[in-house]
Amino acid sequence: MSIPPAVVASVRMGWHWQWNQLMNGLAPADAEGHYRRPPSQHQQATVPSETELIGRPAELRPHLIVGRSCPWAHRTWLVLTLRNLQSSLNLLLAKADHKAGRWRLDPAWLGCDSLLALYKTCGAPPSHRATVPALVDPGSSANLSPRLLGNESAQLVEVLNRWPANNDAPDLAPAALLDDINHWQNILQPAVNDGVYRCGFARSQMAYDQACHELFEALKQVESSLSQQGPWLCGDQLSLADVRLFPTIIRWEMVYQPLFGCSQQPLWDFPHLWSWRQRFFALPGVANTCDAEAWRQDYFGALFPIHPSNIVPSGPDLAKLVNASAPDQQ
């Protein structure tokens, strides 16, 4: 027996109203349905001096706390890895607790089993949301009070680029490239890094169409630049511009294309960008920062308003996907 169209229309109207209420909590939007990321309250990032770090036992080193699925935290993890900072900085992986809606620390650290509790222990203001990434100094023998050194990814990648390191550690933001790095930051942050969320969290067709157009126009700029002056965004040298782009592009087929509707063109339509992703993924240690299963679990399994079934789909093997040759362009 078919359901009368009037009943379908009524249910659809009711569900759309409920969906908007749920989306208000997940992804605020303006009156036209454009996703507007809430401004974050964050700690001004600081860099300990080398003398502050020398001689500390491993358990008293500063900790960089990241979540595997968070692309903003992924940036900082990449800088730690590329500059080989593991001798002076510990990595702590937080796990997404979907039911509680917070980051969980398992095992607990400094007596805290959640990131929220750790923020409180560090004396962070209540206005600061307990988000990853977070850089925390547990305190030395002379200073036993834990402190939050920073929790904003754009700042933290710069902090970690200045972090005391071996002489052979790469400088990802040399003075000669700062203008180029800032140029790409101004393009990528709104149109690509945030742009995929503007597509996925759009509340109207117009908002989605605009976000999608700006996203793919930015990818065309990346493709054009790589075709002319690659292999990296700023030319011959790997930089923070590449670090800021990679977490979005590596999640493309796993999350953003199928779940957020970033499907106007397949990524292999951009052959130079496709090759750029291969090069970055092949850098020492980078593959270990990429966990496609965790990405799918934390996106498909948690974003109820845009994926109500919470069914986590299977996906391709990430290494095979990244290393595959792009189809010939016609």
Domains recognised in the chain with CATH numbers: 50-161 (3.40.30.10), 175-323 (1.20.1050.10)
- pLDDT tens, per residue, the chain with 330 residues: 678 777 677 767 776 667 677 677 777 888 898 988 877 666 667 777 777 777 788 888 999 999 999 999 999 999 999 999 998 899 999 999 988 889 999 999 999 999 999 999 999 888 788 999 999 999 865 566 899 999 999 999 999 999 999 899 999 999 999 999 999 999 999 999 999 999 999 999 999 999 999 999 999 999 999 999 989 999 999 999 999 999 999 999 999 999 999 999 999 999 999 999 999 999 999 999 999 999 999 999 989 888 988 899 999 999 999 999 877 654
Q: Which residue reads 């490239």 in tokens?
A: 177
Cα-to-chain-centroid distance, residue 99: 21
Residues 149, 46: contact at Cβ < 8 Å?
A: yes
- In a 3-state reduction of DSSP, which class is residue 94? strand
Closest CA to 269 of 224, 329, 313, 186: 329
- Sequence-distant (6+) residues with CB within 8 A of 158 are 45, 173, 240
pTM of the model: 0.92
Residues 156, 66: contact at Cβ < 8 Å?
A: no
Residues 247, 82: contact at Cβ < 8 Å?
A: no
